[in-house]
Amino acid sequence: MDLLIVGSGFFGLTIAERAASAGRKVTVIDRRTHIGGNAYSENEPETGIEVHRYGAHLFHTSNPAVWQYVNRFTTFTDYVHRVYTNHKGVVYPLPINLGTINQFFAAAYSPEQARALIQAQAGEFDAKDAANLEEKGIALIGRPLYEAFIRDYTAKQWQTDPKNLPAEVISRLPVRYTYDNRYFNDTWEGLPTDGYTAWIERMADHPNIDVKLDTDFFDETQPLHKTATVGQLPIVYTGPIDRYFDDAEGALSWRTLDFEEEVVPVGDFQGTPVMNYADADVPYTRIHEFRHFHPERADRYPSDKSVIMREYSRFATREDEPYYPVNTAEDRAGLLAYRELAKGERDVLFGGRLGTYQYLDMHMAIGSALSMWNNQLADQTGS
């Protein structure tokens, strides 16, 4: 074995695939019972509808190298992501655009009129100097729209007062003065034609790649555990960085999600893939309806049943799956301390969402794995 990879998500699998193609013998371990990390999907048995096990995953990128790379393993459908939100029993388009503004104010503003209105309502704060998510939200869209669509949704999602959240969280959500309601701005977007798991399996399908599931790096009863391997060969670790160091600098905080899946006896439950619920009195943040991610499969999916998933958000305990880094000031200080520790760890590279404590979309995880391979591993791990 030339390289040990801990974690079979997109980061670990990209490194594994590159290394195997370069002739290196690679072992990938994962503590779960399947490969693919959070992008894993499987067909719900009663309906055959593909369900993304760890929450809806939409692929999008503007990075040509990543787009070219992923197309080696799968083709993509022409799916374009659009999201709606329910506020006080009325449905509005997201991200906030001219359609949302005109519906909310029951008006027919032109782009210029809408800009002037929002500018007048947003005057309390300047987007450039916004110190937290609330100030940034108000600076971007004004207080009335902020309070309707952002404040309570964000508080539900983060269980943290938006005044204590970093302003960057909301920068992911654009505001548009046109009727364009595409959720993402990227050049390429789509869903893997035959599903995420088929894509993931093709990445791992190489004679030089050995995958061991149900294998925890910290389990001393299995031969590839941390103390038996560190310093013996190059390792790419994509698990949580704090866990690697046994929380020596304190546990970093994460948000986890609970998913409540239901097969409903109707062919179409909500007419769209994702409906957000903006108000505080609805306990879930959104409902996913998976059949709508693949309209091209309509003739294969039942016409009298559908699969929906309600998503609830809360702080993660040690036993939960960590999904989103909370990234408080304390977490950022802890992360810097862990990065220092990581530098001293011989032959271990830390990567991916958990290994770097960063929110990474799939294309970012794949892009950063390609860079790690090219810059730090390609010339080093020789057999």
Catalytic residues: 172, 176, 255, 286, 311, 359, 361
CB-nearer residue toward ligand FAD: 135 or 311 = 311
Task: Provide, rounded to whole angstroms, the least separation between the CB of residue 206 and ligand FAD.
Answer: 17
| Binding status of residue 100 toward ligand FAD by CB under 6 A | no
Give CA–CA dist 100/98, Å, rounded.
Answer: 5
Helices (H) and strands (E) in the chain, counts: 14, 16
Piece in contact with ligand UDP (CB under 6 A), picked from 168-176, 217-225, 291-299, 346-354: 168-176
Where in 146-205 is the site for ligand FAD (CB under 6 A)?
Answer: none
Return the beta strands (E) in the chain as ranges.
3-6, 26-29, 41-43, 50-52, 59-61, 83-87, 90-94, 188-190, 209-212, 235-237, 254-264, 274-277, 286-289, 306-315, 324-325, 348-350
Contacts of 263 (CB under 8 A, 6+ apart): 44, 46, 47, 305, 306, 307
Give CA–CA dist 141/58, Å, rounded.
Answer: 26
Task: Provide, rounded to whole angstroms, the least separation between the CB of residue 151 and ligand FAD.
Answer: 22
Exactly one of 85, 100, 181, 238 binds ligand UDP (CB under 6 A); that residue is 85
| Binding status of residue 39 toward ligand UDP by CB under 6 A | no
Sign of the CA dihedral 371, 373, 378, 379?
positive
**What string marks each residue from 216 to 255 as x (binds ligand FAD by CB under 6 A) or -?**
xxx-------------------xx----------------
CB-nearer residue toward ligand UDP: 94 or 191 = 94
Piece in contact with ligand UDP (CB under 6 A), picked from 122-130, 146-154, 263-271, 374-382: 146-154
Where does this chain bind ligand UDP (CB under 6 A)?
85, 94, 149-150, 153-154, 157, 169-170, 172-173, 276, 278
